[in-house]
């Protein structure tokens, strides 16, 4: 058996060790490690979770990359139409990693009731529309069906429904203006078949989902004319790379725009979370390391006579330093154990019971989302252990300055 490990194990297991003067300092050191790992786990889980949730909500309404005509129209409304008959539709085989392409169009209209009105964009979608995101957002009713003949079913946000006193099954009129102000507007009566709540109030207040064929008729487009294509990719981390590839594999008359460019301010804001996470991790490891340095110095001071005896018996400085580092490693591992138990308990409680709510007008989500991945948890534990041990090498150097004669006589 390793000599240093054997001595360290005996010290840790002794009753005198647990009731020594250094016991309160040791408990504080363990508590610092525990609190540090809990705070770091929560910072990463909520920071990354919030980034992913906000990103997924924006992607749900726009796709990862939008393909449209070049025009000077800066609004959300579709301008000059493009033909649906493209080489990249319905499958974008030229670019690897594209999982879905869908045709859409948008048009501004005014929702009119007997007592109120509200402006919003009708997003026209067809049979190719990917409803996976909206299945998660659906709070009441069902999703519309646009696979058969043209119909008046719409999916409206809970936010708009509350403002206009709509419920599932209600009918309402939506007025669409024409380019020529002298011509009468188009009025369509829609039926609410479902309510959704993405938690992203800006988007919930902007869009309702309807049949693309209505917009084709209103705009006097053919059945093959659409407003734009929305492209979804497999790996978000390759968004910029795939955006460039998609641009090079579409006609020169088309413009492509990634979701990060379209909603630049939102994605710049969520990037700040990365800096916050790094800052929190750095501070927590520093605090935990300082507490462990204090605990180690107290342990060395308390065992000065033992150090002198070991030196007198022939132990070298590095051997004695290893003994105390083994001792400190036990304390760090104990702190990590409790930190993981408490941290994971809190994260799973938030994930399944939604204990902590957030203001959606500020954070775009109704509760604090958590991202739990055992890869980053393992990396966090190993990183904390290694960095704390490296920090302990410096104070353990004090052992080399202890004289055996003076140490044995130390009281």
Taking the domains of the chain in order of start, what are their residue ranges? 3-56+267-408, 71-252
* pLDDT value of position 280: 92
Query: Looking at per-residue confidence, does 408 or 114 come out higher?
Result: 114
Instruction: Report the C-alpha dihedral over residues 242, 247, 248, 251, rounded to 10 degrees.
Output: 150
Residue with the larger pLDDT of the pair 315 and 39: 39
Evaluate if residue 405 carries a pLDDT over 70. no
Residue 21's pLDDT is: 65
Phi and psi, residue 2, nearest 5°: -60, 125
- With a cut of 60, say whether residue 18 has pLDDT above it: no
Strands 186-196, 207-211: pairing kind: unpaired
Helix, coil or strand: residue 258: strand
Q: Are 206 and 76 in contact (CB under 8 A)?
A: yes
**Looking at residue 75, what is its pLDDT?**
63
**Quick one: pLDDT at residue 20?**
64
d(Cα 248, Cα 381) in Å, to the nearest integer? 44
DSSP assignment of 361-401: HHHSSSB------HHHHHHHHHHHHHHHHHHHHTGGGGGGG
Residue 408 has pLDDT above 90, yes or no: no
Q: Check residue 316 and give its pLDDT.
A: 85
What does 52-112 look like in DSSP terms, one character per residue? HHHHHHHHHHH-SEEEEE--S--SSS--S-EES--TTSS--TTSTTEEEEEEEEEEEEEEE
Which pLDDT does position 324 carry in this prediction? Answer: 85
Q: How much is the pLDDT for 377?
A: 94
Question: Residue 7: what pLDDT?
Answer: 76
Among 49-53, 199-203, 247-251, 303-307, the range scoring the smallest mean pLDDT is 303-307
How far apart CA 376 and CA 380 sit, in angstroms, is 6
pLDDT band at 282 (very low <50, low <70, confident <90, very high): very high
Q: Is residue 296's pLDDT more than 80?
A: yes
As a whole number, mean pLDDT of residues 272-301 equals 89
Please tell me the predicted confidence (pLDDT) of residue 189.
94
Scanning 256-369, the segments in alpha helix (DSSP H) are 259-262, 264-302, 304-312, 317-353, 360-363
Q: In the chain, pLDDT over 90 holds for what percent of residues? A: 55
Q: What is the per-residue pLDDT for 19?
A: 60
pLDDT (0 to 100) of residue 45: 94
Quick one: pLDDT at residue 292? 87
pLDDT > 80? residue 407:
no
Query: pLDDT per residue over 69-125, tens digit each?
Result: 886 455 678 778 999 999 999 899 999 999 999 999 999 999 988 888 899 999 999
pLDDT at position 367 = 84
Q: How many CB atoms neighbour CB 36 within 10 A? A: 26
Tokens of 7: 């001595």
Return the pLDDT at 161.
94
Work out the end-to-end distance of the chain between its first and last CA atoms, rounded to an integer number of angstroms: 31
| pLDDT tens column, 164-216 | 999 999 999 999 987 777 778 899 999 999 999 988 888 899 999 999 999 99
């Amino acid at each position: 058996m390793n000599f240093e490990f054997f001595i360290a194990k005996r010290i840790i297991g002794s009753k005198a060790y647990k009731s020594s003067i250094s016991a309160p300092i040791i408990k504080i050191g363990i508590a610092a490690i525990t609190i540090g790992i809990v705070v770091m786990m929560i910072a990463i889980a909520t920071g990354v979770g919030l980034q992913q949730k906000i990103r997924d909500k924006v992607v749900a309404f726009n796709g990862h990359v939008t393909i449209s005509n070049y025009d000077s129209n800066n609004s959300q409304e579709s301008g000059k139409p493009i033909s649906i008959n493209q080489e990249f539709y319905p499958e974008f085989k030229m670019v690897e990693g594209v999982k879905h392409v869908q045709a859409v169009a948008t048009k501004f209209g005014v929702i009119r009731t007997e007592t109120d009105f509200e402006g919003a964009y009708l997003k026209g979608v067809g049979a190719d529309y990917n409803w996976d995101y909206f299945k998660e957002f659906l709070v009441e009713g069902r999703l519309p069906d646009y696979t058969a003949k043209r119909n008046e079913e719409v999916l409206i946000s809970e936010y708009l429904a509350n403002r206009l006193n709509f419920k599932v099954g209600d009918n309402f009129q939506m007025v669409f203006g024409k380019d020529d102000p002298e011509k009468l507007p188009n009025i369509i009566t829609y039926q609410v078949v479902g309510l959704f709540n993405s938690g992203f109030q800006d988007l919930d207040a902007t869009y309702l989902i309807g049949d693309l064929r209505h917009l084709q008729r209103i705009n006097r487009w053919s059945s093959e004319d659409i407003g734009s294509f929305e492209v979804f990719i497999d790996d978000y981390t390759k968004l910029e790379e795939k955006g460039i590839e998609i641009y090079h594999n579409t006609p020169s008359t088309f413009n492509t725009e990634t979701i990060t460019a379209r909603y630049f301010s939102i994605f710049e804001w969520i990037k700040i979370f990365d800096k916050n996470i790094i800052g929190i991790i750095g501070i927590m490891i520093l605090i935990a390391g300082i507490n462990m340095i204090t605990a180690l110095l107290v342990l060395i001071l308390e065992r000065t006579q033992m150090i002198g005896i070991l030196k007198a018996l022939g132990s070298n400085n590095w051997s004695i330093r290893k003994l105390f580092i083994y001792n400190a490693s036990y304390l760090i591992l104990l702190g990590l154990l409790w930190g993981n138990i408490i941290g994971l308990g809190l994260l799973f409680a938030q994930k399944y019971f939604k204990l902590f709510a957030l203001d959606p007008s500020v954070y775009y989500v109704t509760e604090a989302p958590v991202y739990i991945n055992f890869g980053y948890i393992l990396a966090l534990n190993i990183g904390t252990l290694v960095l704390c041990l490296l920090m302990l090498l410096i104070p353990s150097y004090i052992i080399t300055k202890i004289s055996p004669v003076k140490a044995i006589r130390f009281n």
